[in-house]
Amino acid sequence: MMREESIRIPFRFAAGRAGSRMLAALRDDKQILGSHCPVCVRTLAPARPFCPECGGENLKTVELGSGAVLVSWTDMPGRGLFALVRPDGADTAMIHKLLGQSGDFHIGARLRAVFAAERRGHIADLQGFEPDPGSAA
C-alpha cells in the first residue's frame, strides 16, 4: 500500500553576489538583470555568477527589458501557470509565473513583467508575466 503526501521544508540560503544584485534591482528599480558571457556571446536570464555553458566567471551584469516572449508553459493545478519566459535582451529563458488563465497565452506571445507594489528583495517582487495588451503577437 502506498501513501502519497507532500512535506514542506522551508530553508534559507545566501543568494550570492549575482543573485543579491538581481534581487536588489527587482526591489529598488523593478529591473530584471541578466549576465552577458563574452566568451559565448550570449546573455543569460536571470543574472548568475558563472556561465553554465563555458564555466566562465567574467560575466557582465546587464539590464534586461520588462517585456518578454513566452517560450513554454504548464498549468500546475492548484498552483497556477508556470512558464519559461525570455526577457527582452536575453538569449535564454527563465522560469516564472504567468498571471492569467491558460487560454490567455500562446507560445511566442509578448508578455510584460508585473512587479509587486511593495517589494522586499525576493524573487516574488517580480510577481510574474501577463499578456502585453500593446502587442499584436
Nine-digit cell string for 54: 563555458
Assess 107 for contact with Zn ion (CB under 5 A).
no
Torsion angle in degrees (nearest 10) through CA of 12, 129, 57, 21 = -60
Binding mask 55-74 for Zn ion (x = CB under 5 A): -x------------------
> Which of 54, 76, 95, 107 touches Zn ion by CB under 5 A?
54
Return the number of the residue (34 or 67) whose C-beta is nearest Zn ion.
34
DSSP string, 64-106: EPSEEEEEEEEEETTTEEEEEEEETT-SS-EEEEE-S-GGG--
For the chain, the residue count is: 137
CB of 59 to Zn ion, least distance (A): 8
| 52 upstream amide cis, omega within 30 of 0 | no
Binding mask 5-44 for Zn ion (x = CB under 5 A): --------------------------------x-xx----
Query: What does the binding site for Zn ion look like in residue numbers (CB under 5 A)?
Result: 37, 39-40, 51, 53-54, 56
